[in-house]
Chain A
Amino acid sequence: MSVGDVTGGRDVRRPSRHIRLGDGAYRRVLQGFGLFVLAIFVAVGGVLFIQAWPAFRHSGAGFVTGTNWDPSRAIYGAIPFIVGTLITSAIGLVLAIPIGIGAAIFLAEYAPRRISGALGMLVELLAAVPSVVYGLWGFLVLGPIFQNTIEPHINFLPVAHGPPLPVGVLLAGLILAIMVLPTITAVTRDLANAVPATSREAVYGLGGTRWQMIRTAVLPAIRVGVVGAVVLGLGRALGETMAVTFVIGNTNAIPNSLIAPGQTMASLIANEFTEATEPFHASALLGIAVLLLVVAVIVNVFARLLVWSVSREVRETV
C-alpha cells in the first residue's frame, strides 16, 4: 500500500503507528552512524594526545617551535616537518589545480562523448592506484628524469639552487600533484556535467562562444563544488606517507631550496616509528601525528571559510 494513496480515505499527514516506529528507528540508526564518526575522531585524537603527552611535557613549546630533531639526545622540534608538509602540499595543489580543472572542462565540454568516457574511466582508475605504486614509480622513473633533464635547467633560480638529485621537495610535490589530480578532475567533471542545459543554451542564445558559455554559465555554477574537490585533494596531500617517503629524500632539516631533500610529518612517522626506542621518541612521533591532525583541521577550516565566502559571493551575484 502506498503512503500517497489518499483515495482510501486515510490522512497521509498522520502516518500509521507502524510507519512512525520505523521512522524513529531509522532516524536513531542514522544518528548512531553520525555519532560513530564523531566517536572515531575523538578516540583517535584522544589516544594520540595521551600517548604524545610525555613528549609534549618533555619538550615544552620547543616541540612546536624547535628546528632540531635529534632522537639520540631526546631533542624534538617539529618545524622542519611542518614546513616540509606545507611546502609539498602547496606545490602539489599549485600544479594540480589548473591541470585538474582544465582536464575536467575538456572532458565535460570539448571531448567527443567516446573519448570523454574512456578518459574519464582512466582518471577514476588513477585515483585507485595505491600510493606505494606512485612512490616506486616516482623513485625509479621520474626521479632520474627529473635529476638529469629538469633540475640542471632550473637550478640557476635562487629558489631551486643546489646539486641535482633524484629526490627532493619539488619531486615530492609533483608526485602529490599526480595523486591529487584524479580527485579534482573527476569531481569537477561531474559538477560540470550537472550544469543544466538551459543555462548553456541561454548563453548560446545570446550569441556567446563556447568559451564564453563555459566562463559565464559553467564555471560560476561549479565554483563551490570545485573548492570542495580541492579540499579533498589537499587532505590526501597533507597526509600522504608512502609515496612521499620514496621521493622526498628524508632529510630532517628545513629544505633550503625546492630541489633540496626534506621530510614531511607523515613520512617522518613512517620512517622512524618501527625502531623508535630512544627516550620519548615514540611519544614524540605521536606528537607529530597530533600536529598533523591540528594542521589538517586548520587548513580545513580555512577551506570552509573560503567555500563560505565564495558561495556568499555566488548568492549575491545571482
Chain B
Amino acid sequence: MRQPFSIATFCAGAAMLVLAACGSSSSPGTTSNSGNPSGTSDPDLSGPSASLTGAGSTFDQPFFTRAFYDYNQKNSGVTVTYASVGSGGGIAQFQAQTVNFGASDVPMKASEIAAAKGGTVLQVPVALGGVSISYNLYGVKGGLHLTGAVLAQIYLGQIKTWNDPAIAALNSGVTLPSQAITVIHRSDGSGTSYIFTDYLSTISPAWQSGPGTGKTVKWPVGLGGKGNEGVAGLVKQVSGSIGYVELAYALQNNFTYAAMQNAAGSYVEPNLTTVAADAAQKPNVSATDFSIVNQMGSDSYPISGYSWVLVYQTQTNTDNGTALVKVLDWLTHAGQISDAKPLDYVPLPANIQQLARTTLQMVVDSSGKKLLS
C-alpha cells in the first residue's frame, strides 16, 4: 500500500510545484490590463463559477498559462488548468471527454472528430504564429533573401552550397561563401514543422510529392533538433547551417532571419505585423480549410498558421459550458492584446476574432439554449 500512496503524494507535490512555477512566472506585468486597448470589445466576464481543464498543444502553453492566470485575477470564480501534453494527447483527452477543451496546432480531422464521444465538435482559431528561417553564415547578417522554391530545394538537398547560383541570384551585393549548407529541422512532431512543410508543399510540387506536409515528415537531409531551442542550438553551433524556428522564439532571442518572398513578389521579414497581414488575407478559415501560408498582399509574411481550441457544441453542464465560452471569447479578443502579444504571439486579426465569436455563439447547453449571446 505504501508504494502507490507515495507515488500519488509525489505527483501531487510535483503538480503543485508546476502550478506554483507557472503562477509566479505569469504574474509580473499583468495587473494593469483593466483598460482595453485596440478597440476589441471586452465582454461581460461575470458568470457562474467553474473549474475548467484543458489539454493539448505545447505551442499554446505560455500564452494559455498567462491568460488563464489573468482571467482568474479578473474573475476569481473561474479557474482554468491547462496541461500542455502535446496536440495528440490533447485530442485524445478531448475525445474521451476527460477535459473541458482541447488545443491542437492542426485542426482535428474528420476521422478524429468521428471518434469524439461528446457529439459535434467546434474548432476555434485561438493563436497565430509565424515560422522564421534562421541561418548561421559568416559575414552575412540578417535579411538574406530567399524564395519558397529555393528553400524547398535546400531542404530537398538539391541546393548544397551557399554560393549556389539560385541563392546568389536573389542576393546581389551579398558575398556568399562556398560553404556547404547544413539543413536543420525539428526532430519532435510540431505544429511549427506542419506550417513549414505546408508552405514548402504549397510552393514546390517536388516537396509535395516527396516529404509532403505533416508534423513529422521524412526529411531528405539534415540534422534534427528537439524543440525550438534544439534547432536554435544547432544553428548556432554549426557554421553554414539553416533552420526554422517559431517566430516568438526567434524574436525573444534576437535571431537573424531571412526575408521571404511572398506571393505578391516582395521580400518580407517575419514580425507580428507581417504575419497578421498574411492571416487577414483569408477571413474565412475553417477547420477543413485552415492553411494560410503564401497568401496574397505585399506585406504578408508567407509562413504562418493558427493553433486551434476544440470544444463540444453541446455542453452537458450549463455552468461549466457558460464559463468555458466566456473564457474562450475573452481569450480570442481582449486576451490577444493583454496576454498573447506580450509573449510575441501574433494577435488574431479583427475578422478572425469575429469568426471565433460566431463559432463560440453556436455552443448550446443540453436544452438547446445558447450559452454566449
Residue of B88, B218, B224, B225 touching A276 (CB-CB under 8 A): B88
**Contact of A272 with B212 in the complex, beta carbons under 8 Å:** no
**Contact of A276 with B237 in the complex, beta carbons under 8 Å:** no
Residues of B within 8 A of A274 (CB): 58, 85-89, 188-189
Contact residue range for chain B? 35 or more
Given contacts A139-B233, A147-B237, A281-B216, contact A271 B88 (CB under 8 A): no
**Contact of B182 with A72 in the complex, beta carbons under 8 Å:** no
Shortest distance from the beta carbon of A287 to any chain B beta carbon, whole Å: 15
Contact with A along B112-125 (1 / 0, CB 8 A): 10000000000000
**Contact of A278 with B215 in the complex, beta carbons under 8 Å:** yes
Interface residues of A in 270-286 (CB under 8 A from B): 270-278, 281-282
- Closest-by-CB residue of B relative to A277 is B88
Residues of B within 8 A of A246 (CB): 226, 230
Cα of A147 to Cα of B223 in the assembled complex, Å: 14
Stretch with Cβ within 8 A of B (4 or more), from A159-167, A178-186, A192-200, A210-218: A159-167
**Contact of A275 with B190 in the complex, beta carbons under 8 Å:** yes
Cα of A275 to Cα of B91 in the assembled complex, Å: 10
Check A69 for interface membership: any CB of B closer than 8 A: yes
Check B153 for interface membership: any CB of A closer than 8 A: no
**Contact of A163 with B180 in the complex, beta carbons under 8 Å:** yes
- Closest-by-CB residue of B relative to A261 is B223
Given contacts A271-B188, A277-B87, contact A250 B215 (CB under 8 A): no
Residue of A68, A143, A245, A276 touching B216 (CB-CB under 8 A): A276
**Contact of A271 with B224 in the complex, beta carbons under 8 Å:** yes
Contact with B along A21-32 (1 / 0, CB 8 A): 000000000000
Residue of B91, B213, B216, B237 touching A272 (CB-CB under 8 A): B216
Given contacts A70-B218, A72-B213, contact A250 B225 (CB under 8 A): yes
**Contact of B180 with A69 in the complex, beta carbons under 8 Å:** no
Shortest distance from the beta carbon of B239 to any chain A beta carbon, whole Å: 10
Residues of B within 8 A of A245 (CB): 187, 226
Residue of B212, B213, B216, B233 touching A275 (CB-CB under 8 A): B216
Check B238 for interface membership: any CB of A closer than 8 A: yes
Check B211 for interface membership: any CB of A closer than 8 A: yes
Cα of A154 to Cα of B180 in the assembled complex, Å: 20
- Closest-by-CB residue of A relative to B85 is A274
Interface residues of B in 285-333 (CB under 8 A from A): none
Kindly name the residue among B89, B91, B187 whose own CB sees the greatest number of chain A CB atoms within 10 A: B187
- Closest-by-CB residue of B relative to A140 is B233
Kindly name the residue among A140, A163, A263, A277 whose own CB sees the greatest number of chain B CB atoms within 10 A: A277
**Contact of A261 with B237 in the complex, beta carbons under 8 Å:** no
Check A71 for interface membership: any CB of B closer than 8 A: yes
Check A251 for interface membership: any CB of B closer than 8 A: yes
Residue of A73, A166, A263, A272 touching B189 (CB-CB under 8 A): A272
Cα of A251 to Cα of B223 in the assembled complex, Å: 6
Residues of A within 8 A of B85 (CB): 274
Given contacts A165-B223, A261-B223, A277-B106, contact A272 B188 (CB under 8 A): yes
Residues of B within 8 A of A72 (CB): 211-214, 216-218
Shortest distance from the beta carbon of B217 to any chain A beta carbon, whole Å: 5
Shortest distance from the beta carbon of A245 to any chain B beta carbon, whole Å: 6
Check A88 for interface membership: any CB of B closer than 8 A: no
**Contact of A275 with B237 in the complex, beta carbons under 8 Å:** no
**Contact of A166 with B88 in the complex, beta carbons under 8 Å:** no
Cα of A263 to Cα of B185 in the assembled complex, Å: 14
Interface residues of A in 72-98 (CB under 8 A from B): 72-73
List, sorted by A's number, 17 A–B pairs whose CB atoms are closer than 8 Å.
A70-B218, A72-B214, A73-B218, A139-B233, A140-B233, A144-B237, A245-B187, A250-B226, A261-B223, A271-B188, A272-B187, A273-B86, A275-B87, A275-B188, A277-B106, A277-B215, A278-B214
B interface, CB within 8 angstroms of A: 58, 85-89, 91, 104-106, 112, 180, 182, 187-191, 211-219, 222-226, 230, 233-234, 237-238
9 shortest A-B CB distances, which residue pairs? Answer: A275-B189, A274-B86, A250-B224, A250-B187, A72-B214, A70-B218, A277-B88, A71-B216, A271-B187
Further pairs besides A250-B223, A274-B85, A274-B87: 18, Cβ < 8 Å: A71-B216, A72-B212, A72-B213, A72-B214, A73-B212, A143-B237, A144-B237, A147-B238, A246-B226, A251-B223, A263-B187, A271-B189, A273-B86, A274-B89, A275-B86, A275-B87, A275-B191, A278-B216
